């Protein structure tokens, strides 16, 4: 469970990026985070990862108060959050298999667990046959599926996707959304920041809308609500 209470973020130039945000996301929810450029979506995501701290307010994730986390505890906290980006961020010199297994090496998983888990996750995203390919040999949609595999391989309780379909065509995007739905249905909380109006409107999931740092809308089975 994620709970933000009275979260504000003021950057040095006196920019109020987030203003008194109160938000509760239950385990297993699927939430779209929408809003125009500059609304505060990236700031929200960076706070969830504890890359930045709020100016005031509290964030609690699975009973952990992020403001009380010690520096050495941050890497352990982050293991619990899978992250997917618009630009995939795969390691170009590593094969698909290595990109995914590396995430398990980092948390010092045993070789045995890695050998068991990586093929399973690659098959979940439909990439078993591409295990030995390099990212540069894959289509954009395939690269994003590798990135999803890497994000979930350590079984995070939360998956944050920042514009995951931003570089993909509509058909490929639908495939990525199906995977995100599967991941969500297996119990992972999914938070997806997006400008993809069609996707938000078709999924009928919770929509949280920010505008100039203010939470202006929070709807179950919501729509995108903008014409940008």
For Cα atoms 45, 46, 49, give the angle at the middle one, nearest 5 degrees. 90
| 74 φ/ψ sector (left φ>0, alpha ψ -120 to 50, else beta) | alpha
Which is nearer to ligand ADP, 11 or 76 (by Cβ)?
A: 11
Alpha helices in 132-221 (DSSP H): 140-152, 170-185, 197-203
Number of residues binding to ligand ADP, judged by CB under 6 A: 18
225 binds ligand ADP (CB under 6 A): no
Distances (CA, A) of 130 to 125, 137, 176: 11, 9, 17
**From candidates 2, 4, 21, 41, binder to ligand ADP by CB under 6 A:** 41
Q: Which helix (H) or strand (E) holds 206?
A: strand 206-211
Pairing of strands 214-219, 206-211: antiparallel
Residue showing the smallest CB distance to ligand ADP in the complex: 139
43 binds ligand ADP (CB under 6 A): yes
**From candidates 28, 119, 140, 175, binder to ligand ADP by CB under 6 A:** 140
**From candidates 4, 34, 39, 103, binder to ligand ADP by CB under 6 A:** 39
14 binds ligand ADP (CB under 6 A): no
Which is nearer to ligand ADP, 123 or 137 (by Cβ)?
A: 137
141 binds ligand ADP (CB under 6 A): yes
């Amino acid at each position: 469970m994620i709970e933000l209470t009275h979260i504000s973020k003021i950057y040095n130039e006196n920019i109020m990026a987030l203003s008194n945000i109160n938000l509760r996301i239950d385990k297993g929810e699927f939430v779209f985070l929408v809003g125009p450029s500059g609304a505060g979506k990236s700031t929200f995501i960076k706070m969830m990862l504890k890359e930045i701290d709020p100016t005031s307010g509290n964030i609690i994730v699975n009973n952990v108060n992020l403001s009380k986390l010690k520096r050495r505890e941050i890497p352990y906290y982050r293991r619990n959050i899978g992250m997917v980006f618009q630009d995939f961020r795969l390691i170009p010199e590593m094969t698909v298999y290595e990109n995914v297994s590396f995430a398990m090496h980092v948390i010092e998983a045993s070789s045995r667990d890695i050998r068991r888990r990586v093929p399973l996750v690659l098959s979940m995203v439909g990439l078993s046959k591409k295990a030995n390919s390099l990212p540069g040999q894959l289509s954009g949609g395939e690269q994003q599926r590798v990135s999803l595999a890497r994000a979930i391989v350590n079984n995070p309780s939360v998956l944050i996707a920042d514009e995951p379909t931003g570089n993909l065509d509509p058909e490929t995007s639908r495939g990525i959304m199906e995977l995100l739905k599967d991941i969500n249905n297996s119990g992972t909380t999914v938070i997806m920041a997006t400008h993809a109006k069609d996707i938000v409107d078709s999924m009928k999931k919770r929509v949280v809308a920010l505008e100039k740092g203010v939470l202006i809308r929070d709807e179950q089975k919501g729509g995108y609500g903008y014409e940008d």
